[in-house]
Amino acid sequence: MSWDEGENGVEGRDILGYLALPASQYSVLGSEIKRVVLQDLDEVLQQEISSKLSLPPSTPPPNLFTITLPTIRMFGSSFMPTLFTTVNVSPYPAGRSEIKILHCTLSGGRMATFADGKFGVDCSTVVETGLSEGRDGKGEMSEEWMKVTSSVLVTCPVPVQFKKVLPTRLLSATGSKVMSGVLRVLLPKFLEDLRDDYGLWRMGKDEERKVT
């Protein structure tokens, strides 16, 4: 997506400055997103998140959030995913931030209850921004752009003694379908909110932004 700089904003508030804000200063996804503290989670989840972030014991990640999504229907059942995510913001003027999904819990119908906790997820969404040169050949910056790329890996670790009992293919397929549904729901809403929030921030309308 891109923005035309026809409407002047507050001096110094460009897309590169916006993406360098602390993670807590973004107003996206409304009430669906909440900041959490690692130590408030159960011990197993603490260990999983710390391991994925290569954190020393008892060191909380600085930008840990949960995102609760609307119910997704598939396989004749309902799934309500809650994502545990972390946000890493690069310093100005890198124009880059990364949102990583570290864990996904499921509630809802019988299939959601069956699949909850039985698959792992490693999902990364990278937001990159920049300023492109004007077409007049004078090198003036006239357009701001943003690019979002996502990758997702779903794993289904099953102990050897349970491989004949648990339907690993079904679990893997369920995890993949759930995460595909999550991205279909999450990304358009996230981008829409990000664009609106940037517009308010750029124009200095901080009182209209509801930061996390």
pLDDT at 162 over 50: no
Residue 142 DSSP SS3: strand
Task: Summarize pLDDT for 52-90 with one digit per residue, the tens.
Answer: 888 776 666 667 888 888 888 877 888 888 999 888 888
Distance of CA 139 to the CA centre of its chain: 34
pLDDT at 11: 79
Task: Summarize pLDDT for 12-36 with one digit per residue, the tens.
Answer: 788 888 888 888 788 876 667 888 8
Q: Per the structure block, which two tokens stand in for 165?
A: 């009992």
Segment 173-190 mean pLDDT:
80
Residue 47 DSSP SS3: helix
Q: Return the percentage of the chain with pLDDT > 70, whole number.
A: 79
pLDDT band (50, 70, 90) for residue 158 = low
Segment 24-52 mean pLDDT:
82
pLDDT at 211 over 80: no
Beta-carbon contacts of 205 under 8 Å, excluding residues fewer than 6 positions away, are none
Find out whether 132 and 22 touch, Cβ atoms under 8 Å. no
CA separation for the pair 114, 3 (Å, rounded): 45
